[in-house]
Amino acid sequence: MKLKALAAIGLLCAGAQLSAKTLNVDIDIHADQTGPVINKDVYGQFAEHLGRGIYEGVWVGEDSAIPNTRGFRTDVLEALRAIKVPLVRWPGGCFADEYHWREGIGPREDRPTKVNTHWGGVEEPNSFGTHEFFEFVELLGADAYVNGNLGSGTVKEMAEWVEYMTGDKGSTLANERRANGREEPFDIAYFGIGNEAWGCGGNMRPEYYADLYRQYATFLKTPQGKRPKFVASGGHTEDTSWTDVLSKNIDSNIDGISYHFYTLPNSDWDEKGRAIKFSEQEWFKTMERTYRMEKYIRANVAKLDENDPEGNIGLYVDEWGTWYDPEPERDPGFLYQQNTLRDAVVAAVNFNIFHQHAERVTMTNIAQMVNVLQAMILTDKEKMVLTPTYYTYGMYKVFQDATSIKFNLKTDKYKRGDKTVPGVTASVARGTGGKLYLALVNLDPSNSADIDLNVAGANVTRAVGQILTADAMDTRNTFDAPETIAPTAFESDLDDLTIPAKSVVVVELK
């Protein structure tokens, strides 16, 4: 046990305990060998009209007693800016394929009230529409990912929405946008043509959807320089048929194929597992389930490599994250769940997987941003807490647009029964400012890890950065105790590098 390193990183402050057993991890970094750039959009967020994700979570209106900036919660804006949110996906999700954009423009008092049939059967006032969304992302300094309605919409409706948002001439639609308060066209980074066409987006076969996609994409026209990246609705879990069929049958107007995968501890949609007060067995099942992402991405990328050898089509994991059983006292349709250290570890494991596939995986969106599933932020009226997942995003922001560095990792396994996952996963990259960064995640909740680190091509001797860990597996921030878990300082000599159990570490090598 490397007691000097353990003392240096302030484990007592973090509340972690020394382990009786130690994982052995060997990492060889080749600092002079670079790989693809890790696109900043891998750190995208998802904001669906679901539960309190938009209303109260983001939008409270200008007349709210909750401090706001033009109707948007000021505390939420400031928190999201701090982690450099690069991209926001909206309005869904399943909600997107029942969303009719005209109901969300013009004076708010004149907008129709609908029923959100997907999520809780609650009233949808349409107070947060196209203009509010773009104002929100502009206040964040983020890009926009808009998901169009293919499931219950029409080609004409989708094409007119794109013209309304991007038109720069004197067309009736562009002038309508101007009359509604926006002179200049909006910038759309990505546009999704439908969502989960295999399920809530229409229960389609991939062959049928591919033909619909080709039809719809034909009519989505923008001025020169305003074309977004077009996203096709792809598959989920272990199914690669959607990636295969779409990449074979759509030969133009496509930039990426979406992919969805959620981490359910029990891999059972009827009994997903608990968000808090879970056992180590549930912790392990969560890690085993989330690490399947690596195998599933690899399988889908193989289909793309076969059908698109030029590398023109990305794999966009635009829905991912943990999904637990609803809290008994809350509306199950709101998908509100508590967020713990386990969620932070899950997030970091997935980041490291995405980085390993940075050439094809150039955009992802965690589900979701506020008050829904694996959220960054939880709110209760005027109160707000930052979750462990939020802090993981903050620690990993140095990897946005960083250049990946080649490395080899050999690690002891974390085992339960006949199943295993890596004890430790990692990422190495050179940031946009030239600094060399290393991320380490210990999936084992009981045992620390000794890191035998060898760095070729760079003269580095120390690791300096942050660590996120705690004593209990379900350590969390609450409205009564909002600062229970947060990153603390980490520093160690490279020849004496140890990380504790159930921890996320991001450091500069210097």
* Residues whose CB falls within 8 Å of the CB of residue 266, separated by 6 or more in sequence, listed in order: 272, 273, 282, 285
Q: Given phi > 0 = left and psi -120 to 50 = alpha, else beta, which region is 19?
A: beta
> At 445, is the secondary structure helix, strand, or coil?
coil
Angle, vertex CA 153, rays to CA 150 and CA 156, nearest 5: 100
Are the CB atoms for 377 and 76 separated by under 8 Å? yes
Distances (CA, A) of 361 to 62, 304, 409, 450: 38, 11, 21, 30
Amino acid found at 297: I
Q: How far apart are CA 265 and CA 288, in angstroms?
A: 8
Distances (CA, A) of 132 to 122, 139, 165: 20, 10, 12
Q: How far apart are CA 5 and CA 8, in angstroms?
A: 5
Catalytic-residue membership of 196: yes
Indicate the length of the chain as a whole number. Answer: 510
439's tokens: 């991320």
Cis status of the peptide bond prior to 225, with omega within 30 of 0: no
Are the CB atoms for 376 and 81 separated by under 8 Å? no
Catalytic residue among 196, 282, 288, 294: 196
Are the CB atoms for 431 and 437 separated by under 8 Å? yes
Distances (CA, A) of 206 to 177, 312, 322, 420: 35, 20, 26, 33
> At 296, is the secondary structure helix, strand, or coil?
helix
Catalytic-residue membership of 382: no
Catalytic residue among 124, 132, 282, 319: 319
Q: Look at residues 468, 288, 361 and name the one whose alpha carbon lies nearest to residue 43.
A: 361
- Among positive and negative, which fits the CA dihedral 58, 59, 63, 69? positive
What distance, in Å, lies between the first and last C-alpha atoms of the chain? 24
Amino acid found at 497: L
242's tokens: 């959607």
> At 273, is the secondary structure helix, strand, or coil?
coil
Q: Compute the chain's Rg from CA coordinates.
A: 23
24-46 as b/e, with b when 16 or more CB fall inside 10 Å? ebebebbbeeebebbbbbbbbbb
DSSP assignment of 264-277 equals -TTS-SSS---SSS
Catalytic residue positions, numbered? 196, 319
